[in-house]
Structure 1
């Protein structure tokens, strides 16, 4: 007497392997399309050309002698110009998170009576950040990677190697 194929365990084992691959492929497809990687840039050529312009802004900051010191202590950010006699009506400060784009934020700061730029955060800002400082006109910029909080002042100087 011959048994039916569906009663054989080896038949189910052989069907199970391709079915598992199909389910895993469909799952991977849905995960990839519902959670896109925000670090991937669609038009990398234009971004590369823009980086060259940014390096020129960093070199301009070097030429002008721009230097700042930064401190973040007790949720208060203090940025003070060091060695610069010029005053700025507005300073653009941008914080870029290394992996999570939705945590990036921007501040437009004005000087207080001491010539310092201050901002008080409602929540603690911690971790590693890429910081960009530029004037209102945007003709120079300083860019650095920092870890926050910082109880001591750290120097921010234009460095074209870090801008790339």
Structure 2
């Protein structure tokens, strides 16, 4: 006498294939819903390209002006001091810190100079690692951006660099 269908191997094997696809689809949908869209994808490439050109022009303006800073860190505070000749008018500086891999750790500060021309700011509880610091004046006429490792145990010279130009 032959076994009933539910006691045989092949019907269960053939039914497991579609069920495994359904389980894989549920896992894929869960991952897609949790992590959402990638913020690195750009919708308007032309506008982004024009923005990159504007950034390069601002970096070149900083080079033409000879703008350089000394960056010092002591505990959770940092200072920026112009190297060489500082501008006649010390405008406020916008200082952005970008984490190399986790955009949720990025932060920004607006700093003004004290009587000695030193800009002082506070570092939140930043984790050690590679960061990119970007400095722009209040009028956005030049831009300085450089990678550094925090915490910084020595004076770091920040100078305007153009990559690939």
Instruction: Give me the TM-score of the superposition, normalised by structure 1.
Output: 0.89
Per-residue deviation, 1:107: 0.5
Q: Which residue of 2 aligns with 1:76?
A: 77
CA–CA distance in structure 2, aligned partners of residues 41 and 53 of structure 1: 17
Structure 1 residue 139 corresponds to structure 2 residue 141: yes
Q: CA deviation at 1:16?
A: 1.6
**In structure 1, what is the Cα distance between the partners aligned to 2:105 and 2:82?**
26
Structure 1 stretches (4+) deviating beyond 6 angstroms?
none
Provide the C-alpha distance between the structure 1 equivalents of 2:162 and 2:130, rounded to a whole number of angstroms.
19
Q: Name the residue aligned to 2:20.
A: 20
Equivalent position of 1:111 in the other structure: 113
Equivalenced residues, count: 163
1:47 alignment partner in structure 2: 48
CA distance in 1: counterparts of 2:149 and 2:138, whole angstroms: 25
Shift of 1:85: 2.6
Quote the offset at 1:2 in angstroms. 2.6
Q: State yes or no: 1:56 paired with 2:47.
A: no
- Uncovered stretches (5+) of structure 1, i.e. residues with no partner: none
Give, in whole Å, the separation in 1 of the partners of 2:9 and 2:67: 75
Within the candidate set 122, 127, 137, 2:129 is matched to: 127
Tell me the secondary structure at the aligned position of residue 19 of structure 2.
helix
Give how far 1:124 is off.
Answer: 4.2
Distance 1:88 1:9 in 2: 81
Alpha-carbon separation, structure 2, partners of 1:103 and 1:41: 21
